[in-house]
């Protein structure tokens, strides 16, 4: 419920703060006094877009603030979802800076316009004349029917399933596209995969083979040098082994005479042991060296295969070839297992579809059961509003398709005249009739939904006399369940309000400003009398105004 609206530096308003209460509140004022400015400011704080033209004084920022009492409207979950602190008295503030930048806050926490608009739909319903065209919108018509059908939880459940089903179908299409694309490359990828599989490429193989081939290609030089090396070590006359043996013998004989000789002798012995070990390895290498032309050819062929594979796949090492092999394995595997994956995804879709069908069936049944009640209530309300021959034809038709709010199609037709043909509301109802139909619809919604505040902006245009009394009675009845604010030009409606506010213009130092004030009982009498007879208020108008108020 809106408890206070404060406006600073907006359009023709310099500074204004007004308190609102529950029940039916009336706003009146002369044409052009600024009633639309009030709604504009309220729209701004509820998420409408704005620009610098909203500023009265372009050197100062514009601030609009709305205080709302929201304790009894089950909004805690929404506040949690959008990460806002829940306060039973919530303050929404909108600022427009001279630079043109706009900022919005809920309980002093910055928010986006998207969040404001979401919150707006849960707090205030502003209804103006042009919004009567909403009556022809199928989604709005479903909103009315579902309110009576108590379908809120069912539709929430359906929408969760609908989102899940849409996602699963999207994933299935993606899988099928991947399979189609993969199938086109499958034969070629399979050929490349098998080629690498048969090659049995190992990461370190190339370096080992290249070393082996280098050895085989230089076998003669290796043999010659090994032989010469052995000759230098084992020759009886000049061989290193014999020389070291002689050196060791000489030093052994004097090692006992001095620690110095003993250390030198030990070092020679160590060298002799190392040389003996080297000789053994040289002899072993010389004995085992053997040139095998077949082995060289095999290694050469193997290396050529690896070089060719690397060139074919535009890589420079076996390690990269192994990575290519793994990628090809995955691509081939995707195609070969795609059928199983797609079947699994289809089973998920079938399962969700089955559950969704059940919920959609419950929604449809509740809608079908509620349409006679809706038809009866609307026709009764319209009869009270002077449309005795108004008739509705509302039919729920099953659809094969999953729609955003169920599996129903809706035929919502209207006839204003006795014996007249049914047709779409926008084609067969006049502007005045649409206003009364919308009021009736809002009345039905007010008893079946939990909306804190509704604002009617001259919904009574085009009616007078007894009908205006009926409109006032309906608004009064609605105000027992919710806060109702009505901007009106009819005295019959103005007199029914529990609170009455007047919008007026005044000129201060050559500058026109718009103001709003709450009227006292005496001021209400004068205001309503003026609405009845104009600026020149007669005694009979004052008497009539008092009668209306009483």
CA–CA distance from 311 to each of 92, 188, 190, 304, 306 (Å)?
68, 17, 18, 10, 9
Q: What percent of the chain has pLDDT over 90?
A: 42
Tell if the pTM clears 0.85, that is, is over it. no
- Is the pLDDT confidence value at 291 over 90? no
The DSSP code for 204 is: T
- Is the pLDDT confidence value at 508 over 90? no
In whole angstroms, give the CA distance from residue 352 to residue 169: 11
Predicted pLDDT of residue 370? 95
Predicted pLDDT of residue 336? 64
pLDDT in tens, 24-40: 999 998 887 788 888 88
- Is the pLDDT confidence value at 403 over 70? yes
pLDDT greater at residue 74 or residue 405: 405
Q: Going by DSSP bridges, is the β-strand pair 124-128/406-415 parallel, antiparallel, or unpaired?
A: unpaired
In DSSP terms, 250 is beta-bridged to: none
- Is the pLDDT confidence value at 254 over 80? yes
Question: Which residues contact residue 315 at a Cβ distance below 8 angstroms, ignoring those fewer than 6 apart?
Answer: 321, 323, 324
Q: CB–CB of 273/240 below 8 Å?
A: no
Predicted pLDDT of residue 280? 87
Predicted pLDDT of residue 430? 83
pLDDT category at 337 given cuts 50, 70, 90 is: low
pLDDT in tens, 152-172: 999 999 999 999 999 999 999
- Is the pLDDT confidence value at 129 over 70? no
pLDDT greater at residue 363 or residue 73: 363
Q: What percent of the chain has pLDDT over 70?
A: 97
Burial of 412 (0-12, 13-18, 19+ CB in 10 A): buried
Q: Going by DSSP bridges, is the β-strand pair 102-106/124-128 parallel, antiparallel, or unpaired?
A: unpaired
Q: CB–CB of 374/444 below 8 Å?
A: yes
Predicted pLDDT of residue 130? 65
Q: Give me the chain's average pLDDT, please.
A: 87
Predicted pLDDT of residue 338? 67
pLDDT in tens, 341-358: 888 899 999 999 999 999
* Domain boundaries along the sequence of the chain: 2-150+385-519, 175-338, 520-550
Measured between its terminal Cα atoms, the distance across the chain in Å is: 27
Predicted pLDDT of residue 242? 81
- For range 421-447, the mean pLDDT: 87
Class of domain 2-150+385-519: alpha beta
In whole angstroms, give the CA distance from residue 217 to residue 296: 8
- Is the pLDDT confidence value at 323 over 70? yes
- For range 279-308, the mean pLDDT: 80
- Is the pLDDT confidence value at 411 over 90? yes
Predicted pLDDT of residue 483? 93
In whole angstroms, give the CA distance from residue 472 to residue 486: 10
pLDDT in tens, 444-501: 988 887 778 999 988 877 677 788 889 999 999 999 889 999 999 899 999 999 999 9
Predicted pLDDT of residue 272? 87
Nearest C-alpha neighbor of 490 from the set 535, 453, 545: 545
In whole angstroms, give the CA distance from residue 500 to residue 531: 13
pLDDT category at 412 given cuts 50, 70, 90 is: very high
């Amino acid at each position: 419920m809106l408890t206070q609206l404060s406006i600073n530096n907006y359009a023709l308003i310099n500074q204004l703060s007004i308190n609102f209460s529950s029940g039916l509140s009336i706003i009146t004022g002369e044409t052009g006094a600024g009633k639309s400015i009030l709604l504009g400011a309220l729209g701004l704080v509820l998420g409408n877009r704005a620009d610098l033209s909203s500023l009265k004084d372009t050197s100062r920022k514009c601030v609009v603030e709305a205080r709302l009492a929201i304790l009894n409207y089950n909004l805690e979950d929404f506040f949690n979802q959008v990460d806002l602190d829940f306060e039973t008295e919530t303050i929404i503030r909108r600022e427009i800076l001279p630079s043109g930048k706009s900022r919005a806050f809920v309980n002093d926490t910055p928010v986006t316009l998207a969040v404001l608009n979401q919150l707006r739909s849960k707090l205030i319903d502003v209804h103006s004349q042009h919004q009567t065209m909403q009556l022809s919108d199928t989604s709005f018509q479903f909103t009315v029917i579902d309110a009576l059908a108590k379908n809120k939880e069912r539709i929430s459940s359906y929408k969760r399933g609908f989102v899940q089903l849409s996602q699963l179908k999207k994933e299935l299409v993606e899988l099928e596209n991947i399979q189609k694309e993969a199938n086109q490359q499958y034969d070629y990828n399979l050929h490349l995969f098998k080629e690498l599989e048969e090659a049995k490429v190992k990461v370190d193989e190339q370096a080992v083979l290249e070393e082996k081939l280098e050895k085989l290609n230089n076998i003669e030089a290796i043999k010659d040098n090994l032989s010469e090396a052995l000759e230098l070590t084992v020759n009886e006359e000049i061989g290193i082994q014999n020389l070291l043996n002689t050196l060791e013998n000489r030093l052994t004989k004097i090692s006992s005479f001095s620690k110095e000789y003993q250390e030198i002798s030990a070092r020679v012995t160590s060298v002799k042991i190392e040389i003996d070990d080297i000789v053994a390895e040289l002899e072993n290498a010389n004995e085992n060296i053997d040139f095998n032309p077949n082995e060289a050819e095999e290694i050469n062929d193997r290396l050529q295969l690896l070089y060719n594979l690397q060139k074919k796949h535009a890589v420079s090492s076996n390690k990269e070839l192994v990575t290519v092999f793994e990628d090809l394995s995955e691509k081939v595997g995707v195609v070969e297992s795609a059928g199983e994956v797609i079947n699994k995804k289809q089973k998920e879709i079938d399962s969700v579809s089955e559950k969704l069908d059940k919920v959609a069936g419950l929604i449809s049944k509740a809608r079908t059961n509620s349409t006679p009640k809706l038809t009866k209530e609307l026709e009764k309300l319209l009869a009270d509003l002077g449309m005795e021959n108004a008739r509705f034809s509302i039919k729920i038709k099953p659809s094969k398709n999953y729609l955003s709010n169920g599996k129903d199609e809706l035929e919502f037709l209207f006839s204003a005249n006795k014996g007249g043909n049914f047709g779409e509301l926008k084609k067969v109802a006049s502007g005045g009739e649409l206003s009364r139909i919308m009021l009736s619809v809002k009345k039905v919604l007010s008893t079946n939904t939990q909306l804190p505040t509704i604002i009617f902006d001259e919904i009574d245009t085009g009616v007078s006399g007894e009908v205006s009394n009926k409109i006032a009675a309906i608004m009064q009845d609605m105000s027992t369940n919710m806060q109702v604010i009505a901007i009106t030009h009819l005295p019959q409606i103005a007199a029914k309000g529990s609170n009455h506010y007047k919008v007026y213009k005044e000129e201060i130092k050559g500058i026109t400003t718009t103001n709003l004030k709450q009227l006292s009982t005496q001021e209400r009498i004068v205001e309503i009398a003026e609405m009845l007879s104009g600026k020149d208020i007669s005694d009979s108008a004052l008497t009539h105004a008092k009668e209306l108020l009483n």
